Chain A
Amino acid sequence: MTVEKIMSDGEGYDDFPAGLRVLAVDDNPICLKLLETLLRKCQYHVTTTSQARMALKMLRENKDRFDLVISDVHMPDMDGFKLLELVGLEMDLPVIMLSENGDPKLVMKGVTHGACDYLVKPVRIEELRNIWQHVIRKKRTKPKNQHGSADQGNDNQSSGEGNGPHADRNGKCNRKRKDEEDFSEDNENENEDPAASKKPRVVWSIELHRKFVAAVSQLGIEKAVPKRILDLMNVEGLTRENVASHLQKYRLYLKRISSVASQQANMVAALGVKDSHFMRMAPFEGLGDFRPLSGQGRLGSAALSHYTTGGMFGRLNTPNVNLHNLSPSTLIQPNHGQNITNSISALGKVHPALASTNQSQSLFQGIPSSLELDQLQQIKCGTGMASFNAMDNSRLRNKFSDPGAAINSSSNIFNSSTNMMLHGSYQQTMSGGGFGDQSSQNMASLNLDSFNVSVNSSSRLLDSATIQSSTTQPASLLSTEPFHSQPLPMSTTGNNGFSNDPYLQKNAIDISSTTMSLPLEDSREMHYQQGLVGDIPSQRWGEQGQSYGHGSTATFGSLNAHIPVSGLSHSLDHDSGIINEKMGVFTNGRLGGGASTLMLQNGNEKLASESRGMANDSFLLEQQKIQSVFAPRSDDPLDAMMNAMIKREQEETIANCDFGFDEYSFESGM
């Protein structure tokens, strides 16, 4: 593919790479000036801003205005990683991270959040002369992403992996893959859209997604086939393929949510939240049984029973079925156990799919150390949407380009259902994950934390994010035991709940392990878990869910954090915009990497918003609760956690529910 062809969608550079339109973001004026001069020297068109929010605003105003974004990592108004995720999710532009610090962990974080490259300051001009390759690479993979083929996933991965020094290597891989893709791309294009040379991306706006969800619920998640959904939706210009891929994402999302939802469901039920997602959380209560410790108790028997109820589980087990279970309508059912398992299984399931994609791997590159790939996948599955998104990041992004609806399928669901749900579900997922023991940790982390954690180079996120809010307490608790003991309460205890859903168990474990795996590895992980757990309960339900979905749990964390009940208020204040963005970003399929970023960001933000107090306080409470739950844990830390989480969620959901919506609306407003 020649450069001209690549640029055929309107840019038409005469002598590329000259004229590349770069947006540079750095709060340090000297660095910014230097960067600007360097870029001008390379003959690029440079626009600078010292504020991340301004950058986002500019990007949102006109998505075609820039080809590439370079951003510093440490910025006062917004974490660079968060910006990275948002940009990736919403605009799908290549983003290069800049930092003083070349610490591999940070670099990893950048990668998992979807950065195309990571440069260390002070930047040399030679390094900047090559950044245009990322633009080309992204363009090459973009159309394919829509198809969401595994290849694309790989491609995305490779793009994401293009850390500075390894750019060459990645470039080669990408090129190779691109060639393959080009082939299939052409074919696909032909098949799917013979009329146009390039298939236009479908933007899954909120409206569109609502229609989609309505159609799906009308048909019943099990019967929802793309063709029928398409007919029901009756939208012009929408193809079956669009619906199919969106459905896939949605299913992943549901899975993710359901695991979180289980926990939340309990809460939701208590709160009376209508969100199905929350309902899903309820099952989590069942998990609570695992841990008699948890005072919360809710989770206890109820959850278990739910889990055992094979009804949902059974469905969960089946890869697709899980999704079905997750469908909002089904979710509502208090299949606590199921939800969780579903989510877990969903995770597990998803992850095979995801596993295939390199994305999952890339997402969890940092994490997988301890986790097996499976776990990662599972986690991914958990993140379901996230992972899925990872695969189709670009695709998802396309789909969910709408910021409001940014939340990719998963998010959309959330959006439609309510932010709360997300939160809840997320939290659940998280809590579930968190509870899990080490393996379960993964689980817990699965929800959000795990991903985030793992993604975030494990402790980093956790430490910052989780700890952010009040995590101090819970973190400690979580880190040590709960997670370990509850691999997923389901899974460890032999998947009590998941008996029906062996898959879940596996997933749960995987998830926890994967997610947690990272955290497990070191104390940091614990924090992460804690953060997750803590986060979930108080703040980040949403985030958790997200993080879970995304490889980038980080994002979730942040999202959740924001969304979470307590966190919501904060997040709203603080990063309402961000949260929304996160959500959007989150959903956009950045999940894989972006999500984590988001989460991370959220986490970071949350930390920042510690002062917010609201969330923190509640969070602290929650955390304490969880902690107590966890501490004792011997075998069911997860349960305890779950209970705690659920409880928290419930408490929070009530509070958060409002927020959730607010946030959402905020998002929409954005």
Chain B
Amino acid sequence: MQRQLANMKQTLFDQGYLDEQFIQLEELQDDANPNFVEEVVTLYYRDSARLIQNIEQALEKSPLDFSKLECLMHQFKGSSSSIGAKRVKSECTQFKEHCRVGNADGCKRTFQQLKKEYATLKKKVEVYFQFARQIGPVEKACRSK
């Protein structure tokens, strides 16, 4: 079971959904903080849902306020990198670049892509956590890298 869990995690890493930072989070989880990773990830979902909504609203305006978009995306990127959401983070970077050069279409396109990645990540991580919970309170999985 644990091995299965470890494999799941490894897959996530291999596919580039998560990176080293996630491992850092896991290492912070201990007896004092037994659900740390899940807490942080949940917090991330909540915060990013809000950000995504704001960005969407901003993208509907015309003309686009690139600096505001960039600012919003900066926050998004920050949280994403804090939890190790690698793919999402790279989409954020791209988005910011489009903002920087004022490429409205690029922004919109990238944002769609970003939303997709975000949704996928969320699903996969959810599965992962569910599985982990099923296994029961176990010591954190060993580093799968």
Q: Which residues of A contact B (CB under 8 A)?
A: 27-31, 33-34, 37-38, 40-41, 74, 100, 121-122, 124-125
Q: Which residues of A contact B52 (CB under 8 A)?
A: none
Known: A100-B78, A121-B78. A30 touches B28 (CB 8 A): no
How far is it, in angstroms, between the C-alpha of A30 and the C-alpha of B47 when the chains are bound? 8
What would 10 more interface pairs be, CB under 8 Å, given A28-B79, A121-B81, A125-B28? A28-B47, A28-B78, A29-B79, A30-B40, A30-B44, A33-B43, A37-B28, A40-B32, A122-B81, A125-B27
Establish whether residues A124 and B24, one from each chain, have CB atoms under 8 Å apart when the complex forms: yes
**Are B79 and A30 in contact (CB-based, < 8 A)?**
yes
B82 located at the interface, meaning its Cβ lies under 8 Å from any Cβ of chain A in the complex: yes
Cα distance, A38 to B77, chains bound together (Å): 20
Given contacts A30-B79, A41-B28, A125-B24, contact A74 B40 (CB under 8 A): no
Residues of chain B with a CB closer than 8 A to A34's CB: 25, 28, 40, 82-83
Q: 13 A-B residue contacts at CB 8 Å?
A: A28-B47, A30-B44, A30-B83, A34-B25, A34-B83, A37-B33, A37-B36, A41-B28, A74-B78, A122-B24, A122-B82, A122-B84, A124-B24
Instruction: Say yes or no: B77 contacts A100, CB within 8 Å.
Output: yes
Instruction: Report A-chain residues with C-beta under 8 Å of the C-beta of B75.
Output: 27-28, 74
Point out the residues of chain B lying under 8 angstroms from A74, CB to CB. 71, 74-75, 78
Residues of A within 8 A of B33 (CB): 37
Instruction: Give A40 to B43 CA distance when docked, in angstroms.
Output: 19
- Assembled-state Cα–Cα distance A10/B79 (Å): 38
Cα A29 to Cα B45 with chains together (Å): 11
> Which residues of B are found within 8 Å of A37, using beta-carbon distances?
28, 33, 36, 40
Q: Does B21 contact A (CB under 8 A)?
A: yes
Q: Which residues of A contact B24 (CB under 8 A)?
A: 122, 124-125
Q: Which residues of B contact A125 (CB under 8 A)?
A: 24, 27-28
Residues from chain A with a CB closer than 8 A to the CB of B47 are: 28-30
Q: Which of B66-88 contact A (CB under 8 A)?
A: 71, 74-75, 77-79, 81-84
Q: What's the least CB distance linking A580 to chain B, in Å?
A: 26
Given A29-B47, A33-B43, A100-B77, are A121 and B82 also a contact pair (CB < 8 Å)? yes
Q: Which residues of B contact A27 (CB under 8 A)?
A: 75
A100 touches B74 (CB 8 A): yes
A85 to B21, CA, bound (A): 31
Q: In chain B between 93 and 109, which residues have their CB closer than 8 angstroms to a CB of chain A?
A: none
Residue on B nearest A99 in the bound complex, by CB: B78
Within the complex, the shortest CB–CB distance from A559 to chain B, in Å, comes to 24
Identity of the chain A residue whose Cβ is nearest the Cβ of B81 in the assembled complex = A122
Question: In chain B, what residue has the closest Cβ to A100?
Answer: B78
A505 to B139, CA, bound (A): 71
Question: Are A33 and B81 closer than 8 Å at their CB atoms?
Answer: no
B32-53: which residues lie under 8 A (CB-CB) from chain A? 32-33, 36, 39-40, 43-44, 47
| Chain A residues, CB < 8 A from B28 | 34, 37-38, 41, 125
Query: Which residue of chain A has its CB nearest to the CB of B51?
Result: A28
CA distance A74 to B96 in the complex (A): 15
With the chains together, A124 CA to B27 CA distance in Å?
A: 11
Give the Cβ gap from B31 to chain A, nearest Cβ, in Å: 12
Give chain B nearest CB distance to A46 CB in angstroms: 13
Q: Given the complex of chains A and B, what is the CA–CA distance between A34 and B43 in angstroms?
A: 11
| A365-B47 Cα distance, complex, nearest whole Å | 38
Residues of B contacting A41 with CB < 8 Å? 28
Most chain A CB neighbours (cut-off 10 Å) among B24, B27, B82: B82
Instruction: Identify A29's interface contact among B27, B36, B43, B84, CB under 8 A.
Output: B43
Task: Output the nearest chain B residue to A26 by Cβ-Cβ distance.
Answer: B78
Residues of A within 8 A of B39 (CB): 33
Query: In the complex, which residues of chain A have a beta carbon less than 8 angstroms from the beta carbon of B44?
Result: 30
Closest-CB distance, B68 to chain A (whole angstroms): 11
Q: How far is the CB of A67 from chain B (nearest CB, A)?
A: 22
Chain A residue nearest to B93 (CB atoms) is A100
User: Which of B36, B43, B71 sits near A30, CB closer than 8 Å?
Assistant: B43
**A100 with B81: in contact, given A29-B43, A30-B43 (CB under 8 Å)?**
yes
Across the interface, which residues of A come within 8 angstroms of B43, CB to CB? 29-30, 33
Residues of A within 8 A of B71 (CB): 74
Residue of A nearest to B45 (CB): A30
Which of the listed residues A30, A34, A74, A100 has the most CB atoms from chain B within 10 Å of its own CB? A30
Give the distance to chain A from B8, nearest Cβ to Cβ, in Å: 22
CA distance A249 to B101 in the complex (A): 45
Query: Given A28-B79, A30-B79, A31-B82 in contact, is the A122-B74 Cβ separation under 8 Å?
Result: no
Bound CA–CA A38/B21 (angstroms) = 12
Complex: A100 Cα to B79 Cα, angstroms: 10
> Which residue of chain A is the closest to B25 with respect to CB atoms?
A34
Q: Which residues of A contact B40 (CB under 8 A)?
A: 30, 33-34, 37
CA distance A121 to B39 in the complex (A): 19
Residues of chain A lying within 8 A (CB to CB) of residue B25? 34
In the complex, which residues of chain A have a beta carbon less than 8 angstroms from the beta carbon of B36?
37
Q: Which of B43, B44, B79 has the most chain A CB atoms inside 10 A of its CB?
A: B79
Tell me the complex Cα distance, A124–B79, Å: 15
Question: Taking A38-B28, A100-B74 as contacts, is the C-beta distance between A31 and B21 under 8 angstroms?
Answer: no
**A33–B25 alpha-carbon span in the complex (Å):** 11
The 5 closest A-B pairs by CB, nearest first: A30-B79, A28-B78, A30-B82, A31-B82, A122-B21
Q: How far is A27 from B72 in the complex, measured between Cα atoms in Å? A: 12
Interchain nearest-CB distance for A27 vs B (Å): 7
- The CA of A62 and the CA of B139, in the complex, are separated in Å by 41
